[in-house]
A and B are shown apart, each in its own frame.
Chain A
């Protein structure tokens, strides 16, 4: 019966299998027959195949199997897609992740302890090494907290240089997030592209601060050096190039069916979960809640600039990827305005107790020599008190809590690291989804292990 029916199908259709017309061939025995495609694909099917509509999320089997079917697999700490030395204990049931436990501490170097023995002017060399993809933000938050305790106001130019540099840093950090995120999902070109564009900005950083990472450029009382000659030309080049490249990324990924299929409706993190777990930054904004410390708690005069906060509603991995692209565009707007309206003036605060004297003065003035000596041996004293200041780092709220006992080293220095807190979302977004989505979920949170372990 079966064979007859299939044979009839064969005769009616326009398809034919090799040698089938010679007779004696059962269509079911050939590969071609089994692969027969419909002549007209329904539009809904086509939409799914083209990635315009995504029906995912994977729904695992509901019935709970016995303990024997589960196994605990160790992922990391040397796994390349865990962005450093993150270790995950993953409980698997077949291919489905049932429970996750992040294990951290492999990069712990006791920076908060070290910070208690470094003076305030040395402190930035320490904090800059925490979040190594966004070092300038760490320097900024430490400097802002120290300045709040000292109760000093830095000059306008210093403020604007800080904004310019940190927003450039946000672009580099998001570019790395896009690049490594792309690599995790299999878009190797994205990895090359992201690091290529980042290099352009890192070259500018090297020109300005002397180093590509770990700059120690933003210091309590201002910045370490003025912008180099011809900085406007470099920034203009960056402002011309990056938007073009962003268009390239969009062309490659935005309507890409594989990219959409892998990312849409995967790793849902709702606004309420963000509130409960203390998750801020792009992940919170991708869940449809508008919250950015640059708007609600402005620092360094960022309230003067005209920019928007991108908010997306889907709260999945795709929107967490997309929001980073949109934030790069907004950051470029700020950079352009900061470049055009850069005020003239001093780049360090005019306070002899905080700012070391220029080299030339040391040969002329005894007082300058004494100040220089005191600042570099003992450091400046900070009045007693405690302060918490937060800035919007590329990963969320980056806070610094300093307790001063009146000496020249912090009595207690604590950094509220966004990556540390954001890692708590991993069990929420990874459980009950296939292990293939796990890597995409980790990449979407963009954890930096230096920031997690400190």
Chain B
């Protein structure tokens, strides 16, 4: 299947997605964020995967989110399926999607502090205490 990759600034993301939707991309397949901590100027990059079932094409939109705001516009009114993905991206990376109907944590507990998939969130940072663990 042919795959097209677009690099779009965050403020034009929504209009580009709308345009692609009108071109026959019926489905939002995937939405995720890449954390380029200390590697790029704009830390977070949004990755949106669209699929056109009628034309058998894929499109991937890469868009940098500015460091000051960490915010981009929600796609839930264009593709309702973006709901869970945006909640996941918010939960894991702390990117805010303005206009999302229910932007709450989805996988982590509600009282969790921090965003675990960020590169500066260390693996094994939180010690886990096991009951009845043998004393060393």
Contacts and interface: CB of A to CB of B under 8 A. Distances in A.
A116 to B, nearest CB: 8
A296 B56 contact: yes
A113 B116 contact: yes
B27 A275 contact: yes
A117 B123 contact: yes
A403 B34 contact: yes
B94 to A, nearest CB: 14
A454 B84 CA distance: 14
A195 B80 CA distance: 36
Interface string A430-454: 0000000000000000000000011
B81 A277 contact: yes
B136 interface: no
B81 A278 contact: yes
Contact of A399 (B30, B34, B56): B30
B108 interface: yes
A403 B56 CA distance: 24
A278 B48 CA distance: 13
A95 interface: no
Contacts of A399: 29-30, 49
A397 B47 contact: no
A105 B108 contact: yes
Contact of B117 (A105, A113, A289): A113
A99 to B, nearest CB: 12
Indicate the member of B27, B32, B105, B123 with the most A CB atoms within 10 Å.
B27
A421 B84 contact: yes
Interface in A407-444: 411-412, 414, 416, 420-421, 423-424
Interface string B1-44: 10100000000000000000000001111101011000100000
Nearest to A390: B29
Contacts of A424: 80-81, 83-84
Contact of A388 (B49, B84, B88): B49
Nearest to B47: A401
Contacts of B84: 420-421, 423-424
Nearest to B35: A412
Nearest to A107: B107
Interface string A391-407: 00000010101010100
Nearest to A278: B81
Contacts of A280: 27, 29
B100 interface: no
B29 A278 contact: yes
A42 interface: no
Nearest to A289: B53
B106 interface: yes
A211 to B, nearest CB: 26
A241 interface: no
Nearest to B118: A113
Interface string B71-90: 00000000111011100100
Contacts of A405: 39
Contacts of A423: 84
Given A421-B84, A453-B107, A275 B26 contact: yes
Contact of A114 (B80, B108, B123): B123
A37 B106 CA distance: 55
A344 to B, nearest CB: 31
B30 A388 contact: yes
Interface of B: 1, 3, 26-30, 32, 34-35, 39, 47, 49, 51, 53, 56, 58, 60, 79-81, 83-85, 88, 92, 105-109, 116-117, 123
